Structure 1
Amino acid sequence: MITFTPLSSSSRIASTSTAATPPLAYLIELDDIKILVDCGSPDLRKALEGNDEEGEYEKMLREHAPTISLLLLTHSSLPHLGYYPFARSNLNLTCPVYATVPVASMGRVSCIEEVQEWRSEMDGAAWEEEIVEEDEGDVDAEATELVDGKVVPGAGIPKKTRRTKWVATGEEVVEAFEAITRVKFESPTRLMGSLSSLTITAFSSGHTLGGTIWKIRSPSSGTVLHAVGMNHTKERHLDGTALLKEKGEGVHEGLGRPDLLITDTDRVGWKNVKRRERDGALLDLITKTLTSQSSLLFPVDPSTRLIELLILLDQHWSYSMIQSQRQGRNWIYPLCLVSKTGKQMIDFARSLMEWMGGGVASGEAAGDGGVGRNNGRNGGGETRGHPLEFRHLRFYDSVEALTATYPASRPKLVLAIPPSMSHGPSRSLFTQYATSPQTLVVLTSRGVPGTLAGDMFEKWNERQERGGKAGEGGVGKPIEMKDLLELQINLKVPLSGQELADHLEAKRLLAEKDLAQKTARVRTRKLLEADEVDSDDSDDSDASDDDRGGGGMDVDGEDGEAVSAPRRGGGGGAGAGIDGGGWEEGGGQKVSFDIYVKGQTTRATTFFKSATGQAPRFRMFPVGVEKRGRKVDAYGETIDVGVWLRKGKEIEEEGESEVVKAAKRRKIEEEKKAEPPEPPSKFIVENHSVQLRCGLYYTDMEGLNDGRAIKTIIPQVNPRRLILVQGPSASTDELISTFKAIPSMTTEIFAPDKGEALQIGENLHSYPLSLGDGLMAGLKFSKFEDYEVAQITGRYTFPSNSTIPILELASSTQLQQQPSPTSSLSQASSLLNSLLITLPPLPSSLFIGDLKLTALKSRLQKIGIGAEFAGEGVLVCGVAEELEGEDGAGEVVAVKKMEGGRIEVQGGTGEIYYRVRKEVYGLHAMVEG
């Protein structure tokens, strides 16, 4: 029994926008196991505005999180995993988590970027909710209460807890992603514990680096294939989805004919633009804007799709610089990325080269970086660098750092996060660039409806001509904006003047109050300890001072707490030798440090030999010889030192003990404490009335399938059941009507609404049976793949000493005599009798397997029988000349696949007919009754 529940983003989105609404989170229940696929985050600005849909999603996830058994992450973008760190730390989502290495690495970069940007713009009170566990009351912190004859300090003070809404902390993000189990593509993983019945396998989905199609195998529920967010086309840094074989040779062997396929309908009504036309129009527009001394703003994703865009832009910069030099000009336009985690993202990407495809996998990007103008050559004789080197890209942590380096008047191309422009550098830069008539804002994604990027996309799409709108196959044209836009900008500004003085005074008063409370607690604790000492003296006046002292325990520690003084020197205890040097803090592992040149260790009698007869070693000044030119290996490949350093660091981290890791964490915490404190600041909200005068353009860089690809791929997969998610209702209805017109396609197609629990399959009842002694000897097994199967026609009997019936082979006459139930086993026997009576009679022979007409065609051609496809699910077989129509009276046999798995072989009886039928039988396992 399979139960599927979309917690968000169903296939029945009643929206006029062409973009489906994130987040994505789908609950799959296989018997008693709950599997959550993805745990995306909504747009926080919409959530803070009290959006009902976002609040409903949070409520549903909060309800199901404690009972979820497994979490699978598919992509590293925020709509797929942005809510996972908060859910793990605050919603008790502590189940095992699985993802590919790129999804875990790049997903952490995306979440950290999101957390840092929001926490640098808004006070925690904006998204934190205070929960009071007890009634509030004005209680003095120094007040005490007599409880059971003892003085208890601070009794009656109300307890308060706080929880964060939507936004996790940086520590929670790191801790959550460290708990992810990394898997590789096409490597089956058998789970453990309560999940031991499941086997999961990750396959490449395209679209993003490490993007995953999850195959979940359950012995009771069959195979479930979750394929949301796919791309079948090859890109600069990614290959197409593994769902299809290369060169269109059909579906991957391990992904065909699943029991259940879950896929999205987001872009069913779309027709993608050809990549050459899209890139050519974009790069021409960039060159035209920069040469007219104007700037461009690209709101981009912090990790996933940014790599593809950076490769394109970096190639264009190299090509433009060479062309400008030939013409006697200089290409002086900066290429900038404003992101706190930009450098970290590029380092991660370089260490994940084995997960990439396209031109990057072979060491060079696709040859159309200049849209066919350089064909993979730079034209200047310069050695091509690493495709992820990005020599022309400049990184900046903030808008202020960018402005300090390049003034607003200098033309440049700026990539800023996030793509929604709800917060962060992209929103701030939009308010600056949108007022300039020559500036161009380029959207690389449709954006979420209700966000600034979503609204801008709708404005651009409405003003396009027929054929140029998004999803119609055209590149579109830039438009000029002339609207008045009201925006809220969240800022964090340092305090000054009287505000700073008031803050310092309040901080001083708070410190004095804390000190007074601390002193009161210490005084109360000492009174309690004095009472206990007096009580001990009265009970046992002969007790010695040493017995009461606790063996060298100093009581007057900080805050009056007992502090134990460790013993030094002597003995062979655990603490011996700690002060000897070379031991890391925390103990347990000795670390040696080598210097570049070691000193002379032998005493020389002459310059040539020492007292021991060996040549001495003299101290020498280390000299580093600077080698110019690009580092390459013996095969001419560029050596990227950063990749190897990153790999070495990962290997060292895996081999470190817990003691060493704890020592490193303490060192990092100490370094943070040593950093200068941040100046006092305040969070403000500024309302801006922006008069839009900039240009606006949209280019599709999302890297997703279009409608034609979806309608072609899914029938090839040929699932037994199909669930459609994440898309508008119109797209879902269009896809359902298309599939119903295909005879070989399943009719069990479902499109559940958000929160609707869809039950698929039947409740199966299992009954134990014991096999008789002579049963195995009378069976005739047939080979089928890796199994041997046989058909049984038998009867069951109930032994007197057991409640489990025994199955024995029986003849047809014995089956007609039904066993009479005994008094002790009447209920079980009656149930089995009723089941036997209602079951239909078994055929004399069974054929096990699924016929693939492509495999049949290949086998027939090997034995000299021609075969051609004559339509959907029909293979015509015969002599080659007869198939071409030269002899219409020849023998021709047609093999058809019908509904319900039936196969029909039609044709006149003859040699061809029997040879074709034999090959059809050979592709199945025949089990005789």
Structure 2
Amino acid sequence: MFTFTPLLGAQSASSKASQSILELDGGIKILVDVGWDDTFDPLDLQELEKHVPTLSLILLTHATPAHIGAFAHCCKTFPLFTQIPVYATSPVIALGRTLLQDLYASSPLAATFLPKATEATHAGRILLQPPTAEEIARYFSLIHPLKYSQPHQPLPSPFSPPLNGLTLTAYNAGHTVGGTIWHIQHGMESIVYAVDWNQARESVVAGAAWFGGSGASGTEVIEQLRKPTALVCSTRGGERFALPGGRKKRDDLLLDMIRSTIAKGGTVLIPTDTSARVLELAYALEHAWRDAAGSGQGDDVLKGAGLYLAGRKANTTMRLARSMLEWMDENIVREFEAAEEGKGVGPFTFKHLRILERKKRLEKILSDQKPKVILASDTSLDWGFAKDSLRLVAEGANNLLLLTEPLHKERITEGQESTHRKTLGSMIWQWYEERKDGVALEKASDGEMLEQENLDNAADALDDRSSSTSEDSETEQQGRVLNFSTSLAHSNRNKLGLSDEDLGVNILLRRKNVYDYDVRGKKGRERMFPYVAPRKKGDEFGEFIRPEDTADELSLAEDGEVDAAVSSEDEVEGQSFEGPAKAVYEKATLTINARLAYVDFTGLHDKRSLEMLIPLIQPRKLILVGGMKQETTALATECQKLLAAKSGMDVSAADSAVIFTPVNGEVVDASVDTNAWMVKLSNNLVRRLKWQHVRSLGVVTLTAQLRGPEQAVLEDSTEENPSKKPKLLEEEKKEEGGSTEVATNAPPEGAKPSADKSEVYPLLDVLPVNMAAGTRSMTRPLHVGDLRLADLRKIMQGAGHTAEFRGEGTLLIDGMVAVRKSATGRIEIEASAQSAAATNLGRGGGSFLAVKQKIYEGLAVVSGS
């Protein structure tokens, strides 16, 4: 049994968040992804909260807010969530931790509000305490790291039923470093969960492992991912075609737009994420600046422009990236090895890219009029340094806002206007799509015209800037002012009129130009130089603020020593805030005169790759999620035709692939189509079974006689008293006043029905002697199993033979025997003519016979019993 329930991300036009529940036989529930959208609405997590007490394990696919954004919130808010085992790859764990630390440090609204049921009437916007950086690190330390292509049997949660041999295997999904395609094997169910993958290779991220991963040249999908009983695939980008020319054309288009802006003296703002796609952008721009610096062209505008990466955890992200080279494309590994040999600079050792982690430093850079390019988080423009930078970049007519991902725009009806907040990013994307003020065309270096939208008129955008304060009411702030004025009054006490005798030794401190004091004849403290310990003045709310303490720092900033002042402000900014907080909203007018442009840097599958890969995967059942309704419906119709054509059937045939397009909350039954029955085996039959083990499965063939449930009751009585014959048992029951028929009828009135359901199962028993002799001659032995060519290669090499892959899916052994595997799983062996002398050699009687013997050894030979 397998049922699929999308909680978020199915046919959604306004959210990219992904959450899915997979329920398997025996009550096993798997949650895949804990995504959240940019509004941080806790109502989106209500359905997830209902499933938490029944979850068996959690799987994470990508280190992006759409897949992992609510993980820390769930760990802090839902009591049982931290007891559920979580599995992900090492890059998803490390980069996801930096992502959420940046998220909660940049966006106070991510902490969510106090529930309405416990709020006071006058305080409607009280924020909950957000998870600290230490808590987020502790939550992510609970995740179990996995490697690619290594099957793993997970541990269940304390409140989960047994997993019964469930196996997880992670494969590279592309799109992000460590992104995962999950293969779940449980009994007869073989499920492939592939959401947000990319088959194309990029500069940093390798392509998806459908054909074997980086360096593979196969034309067929690997065996582990081929012909699953169910494939869960995303449809995001299902109506989009990739840019002709591939990655190089995309990078050139990006650099042409940057050069055209820098040549005008403008600033380019590129919103990006914190720890996923930013690696691809940072690598491409850093190498473009390196090429410009190393070229002999003096007129390259990139030489005089600055390149910056702004993010609160940008340094940590790049440091982690240097330790994840084995998870990236093989070209990154070769570049790193060349740098180790002194032949160049490492891929993430930046010579031109400067990292900014403080808001004040970013504002200082933006206030400079020199041309520059700034990468800032986040892509949504609703939080992070990208939102702060937009206020300073938007008004410049020569500036450029360069979007790298399409932003979902809110589709709000009139009745929903009061409950939904329209985000800044969705408004800007809507302006870009509508081409509000026309399209400005500029010629690129190759003569192609570039489209850049110019918003010349002022546009009013609602900027919901949230600020948090530790004060719960205005009266407390008034109290602080009174305390400060009182402290100033106390400073005048030393001006009271006192005589020299009254002052005593303190005259050295109170009187000017007095340096001598006669201590002869004095005792105690009158003989000591006076010292007054400074006493910090304050009350139960803390120390009093003294404006004169900050006067020196302000004068230093005025004298030009800006760095010292900025560093002190950075220390204050970096301090974590603890205590009650309230969100205060302000409406601001944002005038956008900058140009808008878009280059697709999402790194996701497009229409062509989806329509090419899905027929090659050949799923029995296809579940489409993670896209808008229009693209989901269109892809479902096209896949129905392609899968039917692949199998040679009509679209309306009953045996054609079944395609589901569920909406959020809809439960679809995608169980494997098998004919299976529950029967009970007699003890005599079980003793005669000879099991053969194939990997983790036990296989046996049997020939038995099927009996009804009524005869099964008598069988149980016989097995409990094996020394007695059935006839004696019947006589004993008659002597007790009952009969055999009465014993098998319904229980008497008032008696509770038996809870043991095994009584209603049919019984399989050994055949009578007269029937067993006739069936024994009709049974033939069966070869059961699925032998991989890679395993056969290792076996033959261990036996002393030479074995290597030649061509596509052909294993050549000793240069004479070719082994292939067809799409149906059938193994074909071809051999050249061998002399009698070669056949009588050692090594198992010749290559052909040796290969045949090893293949049989890798399969289970099951004979009838």
Structure 2: distance between partners of 1:38 and 1:504? 48
CA offset at residue 688 of structure 1?
2.9
Match of 1:237 in 2: 204
CA offset at residue 313 of structure 1?
0.3
Match of 1:457 in 2: 429
RMSD: 5.1
Structure 2: distance between partners of 1:493 and 1:722? 46
Q: 1:21 aligns with which of 15, 22, 37?
A: 15
Structure 1: distance between partners of 2:251 and 2:222? 31
Structure 1: distance between partners of 2:829 and 2:223? 28
Match of 2:454 in 1: 480
Alpha-carbon distance change, 189 to 165 in structure 1, aligned in 2, over 3 angstroms: farther
1:435 and 2:419 correspond: no
Q: Is the 8 A contact 1:446 1:453 kept in 2?
A: no
Task: Map 1:29-40 onto structure 2 (within 5 A).
Answer: 29-30=23-24, 31-40=26-35
Task: Map 1:202-221 onto structure 2 (within 5 A).
Answer: 202-219=170-187
Q: 1:60 aligns with which of 30, 38, 47?
A: 47
Structure 2: distance between partners of 1:868 and 1:238? 31
CA offset at residue 721 of structure 1?
2.0
Match of 1:335 in 2: 307
Cα deviations by residue, 1:158-177 (Å, 9 ceiling, x for unpaired): xx999966964444423321
Q: 1:106 aligns with which of 89, 92, 95?
A: 95
Bigger mean CA offset, 1-10 vs 450-459: 450-459
Matched residue type, 2:431: K
Match of 1:190 in 2: 153
Matched residue type, 1:289: T
Structure 2: distance between partners of 1:675 and 1:457? 34
1:250 and 2:220 correspond: yes
Match of 2:716 in 1: 802
CA offset at residue 341 of structure 1?
0.8
5+ residue gaps, structure 1: 48-53, 138-159, 366-375, 469-473, 511-670, 807-819, 880-919
Match of 1:89, SS state, is helix
Q: Is the 8 A contact 1:238 1:358 kept in 2?
A: no
Match of 1:705, SS state, is coil
Matched residue type, 1:341: K
CA offset at residue 44 of structure 1?
2.3
Structure 2: distance between partners of 1:417 and 1:857? 44
Structure 1: distance between partners of 2:396 and 2:150? 53
Q: Is the 8 A contact 1:110 1:302 kept in 2?
A: yes
Match of 2:5 in 1: 5
**Normalized against structure 2, the TM-score is what?**
0.64
Cα deviations by residue, 1:251-299 (Å, 9 ceiling, x for unpaired): 2232222222211111222211121111111112212221221110001
1:74 and 2:78 correspond: no
CA offset at residue 789 of structure 1?
4.3
Structure 1: distance between partners of 2:636 and 2:788? 24
Match of 2:107, SS state, is helix
CA offset at residue 770 of structure 1?
3.4
Alpha-carbon distance change, 132 to 179 in structure 1, aligned in 2, over 3 angstroms: same
1:409 and 2:366 correspond: no
Task: Map 1:585-600 onto structure 2 (within 5 A).
Answer: none
Task: Map 1:625-704 onto structure 2 (within 5 A).
Answer: 685-704=585-604
CA offset at residue 192 of structure 1?
3.1
Matched residue type, 2:671: G
Bigger mean CA offset, 731-740 vs 841-850: 841-850
Structure 2: distance between partners of 1:241 and 1:27? 23
Cα deviations by residue, 1:601-648 (Å, 9 ceiling, x for unpaired): xxxxxxxxxxxxxxxxxxxxxxxxxxxxxxxxxxxxxxxxxxxxxxxx
Alpha-carbon distance change, 491 to 859 in structure 1, aligned in 2, over 3 angstroms: closer
Alpha-carbon distance change, 385 to 772 in structure 1, aligned in 2, over 3 angstroms: same
Alpha-carbon distance change, 681 to 504 in structure 1, aligned in 2, over 3 angstroms: farther
Structure 1: distance between partners of 2:700 and 2:628? 48
Q: 1:721 aligns with which of 621, 625, 649?
A: 621
CA offset at residue 675 of structure 1?
7.7
1:754 and 2:726 correspond: no
Match of 1:815 in 2: none
Match of 1:127, SS state, is coil
Match of 2:405, SS state, is coil
Task: Map 1:515-554 onto structure 2 (within 5 A).
Answer: none
Q: 2:354 aligns with which of 394, 405, 410?
A: 394
Q: Is the 8 A contact 2:705 2:764 kept in 1?
A: no
Q: 2:285 aligns with which of 313, 317, 322?
A: 313
Matched residue type, 1:247: S
Alpha-carbon distance change, 294 to 253 in structure 1, aligned in 2, over 3 angstroms: same
Q: Is the 8 A contact 2:636 2:661 kept in 1?
A: no
Q: 1:128 aligns with which of 114, 122, 135?
A: 114
Match of 2:402, SS state, is strand
Matched residue type, 2:702: I
Task: Map 1:728-747 onto structure 2 (within 5 A).
Answer: 728-741=628-641, 742-743=643-644, 744=646, 746-747=656-657
Match of 1:688, SS state, is coil
Structure 1: distance between partners of 2:366 and 2:300? 24
Match of 2:731 in 1: none
Match of 1:261 in 2: 231
Q: 1:115 aligns with which of 100, 104, 110?
A: 104
Match of 2:527 in 1: none
Q: Is the 8 A contact 2:464 2:585 kept in 1?
A: yes
Matched residue type, 1:776: R
Match of 1:344 in 2: 316
CA offset at residue 188 of structure 1?
2.1
1:201 and 2:163 correspond: no
Structure 1: distance between partners of 2:274 and 2:363? 20
Match of 1:34, SS state, is strand
Matched residue type, 1:26: S
Match of 1:691, SS state, is coil
Match of 2:276 in 1: 304
Cα deviations by residue, 1:317-352 (Å, 9 ceiling, x for unpaired): 111122367569992311112211111111111122
Task: Map 1:266-281 onto structure 2 (within 5 A).
Answer: 266-273=236-243, 274-281=246-253
1:285 and 2:257 correspond: yes
**Normalized against structure 1, the TM-score is what?**
0.60
Structure 1: distance between partners of 2:72 and 2:275? 17
Q: Is the 8 A contact 1:206 1:230 kept in 2?
A: yes
1:41 and 2:36 correspond: yes
Bigger mean CA offset, 751-760 vs 393-402: 393-402
Match of 2:852 in 1: none
CA offset at residue 87 of structure 1?
0.8
Matched residue type, 2:224: G
Structure 2: distance between partners of 1:855 and 1:786? 32
Structure 2: distance between partners of 1:844 and 1:72? 45
Structure 2: distance between partners of 1:210 and 1:682? 37
Match of 2:477 in 1: 503
Cα deviations by residue, 1:394-429 (Å, 9 ceiling, x for unpaired): 122344312324534221111111110112321222
Match of 1:643 in 2: none
Match of 1:128, SS state, is coil
Q: Is the 8 A contact 1:487 1:689 kept in 2?
A: yes
Q: 1:708 aligns with which of 596, 599, 608?
A: 608
Alpha-carbon distance change, 69 to 800 in structure 1, aligned in 2, over 3 angstroms: same
Q: Is the 8 A contact 2:127 2:582 kept in 1?
A: no
CA offset at residue 181 of structure 1?
1.6
Task: Map 1:551-590 onto structure 2 (within 5 A).
Answer: none
Structure 2: distance between partners of 1:309 and 1:439? 19
Structure 1: distance between partners of 2:662 and 2:577? 52
Structure 2: distance between partners of 1:483 and 1:396? 31
Structure 2: distance between partners of 1:483 and 1:702? 30
Match of 1:891 in 2: none
Alpha-carbon distance change, 680 to 77 in structure 1, aligned in 2, over 3 angstroms: closer
Q: Is the 8 A contact 1:492 1:681 kept in 2?
A: no
